Structure 1
Amino acid sequence: MPNNYVPVEDLVVSAGEDGRVIRFQLDDDRRVSTIHNGERDAALLAEGCL
């Protein structure tokens, strides 16, 4: 899924049928810099779930 704040695409994986996801935020070298999880809408926010 595109992230407006990082010029590379993040990896988003479904974490089940309840709508939760895990988002691996990548840096410019495509290495995982941050991991977000939670309900899809919240996990896909630029700042991730808090």
Structure 2
Amino acid sequence: MSLTGSMSKLVEFISKKPVPEHQKNVIFEVTAEDQTEEDVEIPYIMVELQK
């Protein structure tokens, strides 16, 4: 299975809904804190879906 296929399955598992056929991309955003509880800036990840 490709990375794109794995990410689509992850989205479907978390959202409990299938990825719509017209959707071309999925954006993943992560929030995190360091050891002093300060927010850490993490760039988003955009995955292009291949159908």
TM-score (norm 1): 0.29
State the structure with more CA Rg: 2
More strand by share: 1
**Greater helix share, structure number:** 2
Higher relative contact order (CA 8 A, sep 6+): 2
Q: Could you state the TM-score of these two structures normalised by the residue count of structure 2?
A: 0.29
